[in-house]
Structure 1
Amino acid sequence: MRTNAVSIIKGLLVAVAIVTVVGCSGQPLSTREKGTFIGTGVGAATGAIIGAAVGNPLAGAAIGGGIGALGGYAVGNEMQNQETANAQTQAQIQSQQQQIQSQQQQIQQLKSQGETE
């Protein structure tokens, strides 16, 4: 039982170390990268626990980390694509609002010119 607990702790420490090293790269992580790293960490932790139950926590952590990374990447990628689409929509809305304001000013100028004539 004690060997399993030590193995679980080792697997969790490896997962935490990987996430910490990558997280300290100095540049902000994209949503895709955050999803990948969270998925890797959760998958590795879960895999270590399941692997410990069958006697091989390091293999479980490796397999779980890989599967978690794939799942995290897929979720993070979809979230990032959605953020990009939302940003484009907001830019279009802002552009259209500026055009409307410009046209309203032109209408006011034309009205003013028409009243003075």
Structure 2
Amino acid sequence: MLRHKIVTASFALAAVFVIAGCSGSPLSTREKGTLGGAGLGAATGAIIGAAVGAPGAGAAIGAGLGGVTGFAVGNEMQNREQQQAQTQSQLSSQQREIQQQQQQIQQLKSQQETE
């Protein structure tokens, strides 16, 4: 009875991931990490669980632990991506400002030469 509930819960969890994956919008790094971790955890948990006679329970526990770990890793990666994007935006802005200043310097030099 308990094994049946665990297997049912595992399939329900897998269905949620499949439906979330079909939402139409691309997955964020955080979501990819969560799904990848849950998948790896479920597979590893099923293998370990099979060795002790409870592959369903092992898969469910592994999916949960892997999902949490995958979320943490994916979240950190996404935060770094956002930091890099912000830094790149600031660099681009500074480069545009430098180019404008160089143009102004050139204009001033040209004006001085004509005077």
Q: Could you say which TM-score interval applies, normalised by the shorter chain?
A: 0.7 to 0.9
Measured in 2, the distance between the counterparts of 1:115 and 1:103 equals: 18
Question: What is residue 27 of structure 1 aligned with on the other side?
Answer: 25
Contact residue 37 and residue 72 of structure 1 kept, 8 A: yes
Contact residue 51 and residue 60 of structure 1 kept, 8 A: yes
Aligned pairs for 1:18-57 (under 5 A) are 18-57=16-55
Gaps of at least 5 residues in structure 2 are 1-6
Q: Which runs of 4+ in 1 moved over 2 A?
A: 13-22
Q: Percent identity?
A: 67
Amino acid across the alignment from 1:85:
Q
- Alpha-carbon shift at residue 19 of structure 1 (Å): 3.8
Question: What is residue 104 of structure 2 aligned with on the other side?
Answer: 106
Structure 1 vs Structure 2 CA RMSD: 1.8
Measured in 1, the distance between the counterparts of 2:51 and 2:16 equals: 23
TM-score (norm 2): 0.85
Summarize deviations over 1:9-56 as a string: whole Å, max 9, x none: x89x94765543321111111000000000000001110111111111
Amino acid across the alignment from 2:79:
N
Contact residue 19 and residue 41 of structure 1 kept, 8 A: no
Summarize deviations over 1:77-107 as a string: whole Å, max 9, x none: 0100010000001000100000000000000
- Alpha-carbon shift at residue 114 of structure 1 (Å): 0.5
Distance 1:52 1:18, change over 3 A: farther
